[in-house]
Structure 1
Amino acid sequence: MSAFKTPDQLYEKLKAAWSSESSGVWSLDNPARGQCSVTSLVVQDAFGGEILKTWTKGGTHFYNMIDGVRWDLTVSQFDYPIPFEDLPSNRDEAMADTSPRQYEALKARLQM
């Protein structure tokens, strides 16, 4: 069972947990930058659901669908509206966009 009751509660913890250890393009002024794939994995760990993707100017963007509701906890990284194509994805595809080291680092900072 997840230590987080809602995605909103997890989001509050993520804002402090994102770091250069969980994304090579992280920055203090844009902490969600480059965190989408690793975040989609920990969101799925906590709440189940599906990992989805869409295409943006910067490449593939990952987010989650939980109980029929889209949750994009890293959308704040964008300074422009993005399309939500809700294309099916999976853990393997999201992991290929991050690394096991980055995934474990984020889980450790979240105490998961």
Structure 2
Amino acid sequence: MTAWTLNDIERAIRSSWGVDTCAPEDLAHWRPDNPARGQCGVTAMVLHDLLGGELMMGEVHVGGVRTDLHWWNRFATGFEVDLTREQFGPEERVGPGRPVARPQRPGRLQAQYELLRRRVVAQLEADRRGDAPAVALAQRACA
């Protein structure tokens, strides 16, 4: 089995986001030009499935008021990866993160998580077989 790189996984995740994988509370703010909006929880869990490490959570503040929670990943080396960082506007500040236990089930995001995970794994498998879209193959060749 060929191991997937973080770049492979990131490409597959980013190409798999959609309004149907967005957290319900962020649906009103999700747009095709900001596809990362509302994807942090499910994205962090899918990355955790594939690469392990820890889930991190921090509070999002606007004008000093907590408005949301944000999720990302940290690996054993201490390296942190936040694949949805660009979702936030300039007025939104993410505070320091803390490691959190992975929920047994994604709860209210179960359907979004399962859909994103299926899409990501399918894209990674397609890449491995070489029948990925030409754009993905061209991007891989340049990486």
**Length-normalised TM-score, structure 2:** 0.67
Between the two structures, name the one with larger relative contact order (CA 8 Å, sep ≥ 6): 1
1:4 aligns with 2:38: no
Equivalent of 2:117, from 97, 104, 107? 107
Matched with 1:92 is 103
Instruction: Give 5+ residue unaligned stretches, structure 1.
Output: none
Which residue pairs with 2:68 in the alignment?
Answer: 59
CA RMSD, Structure 1 to Structure 2 (Å)? 2.3
**Structure 2: tracts of 5 or more residues without a match:** 62-66, 123-143
In structure 2, C-alpha distance between the alignment counterparts of 1:110 and 1:101, rounded to whole Å: 14
Query: What percent of counterpart residues are identical?
Result: 31
Structure 1 or 2: more helix by fraction: 2
Gap change, CA 1:2 and 1:104, over 3 Å in 2 = farther
Q: Which has the larger radius of gyration?
A: 2
If the length of structure 1 is used for normalisation, what is the TM-score?
0.83
How many residues of Structure 1 are paired with residues of Structure 2 in the alignment?
110
Letter paired with 2:58? T
CA distance in 2, matches of 1:2, 1:82: 38
Structure 1 stretches of at least 4 aligned residues deviating more than 3 Å after TM superposition: 81-84
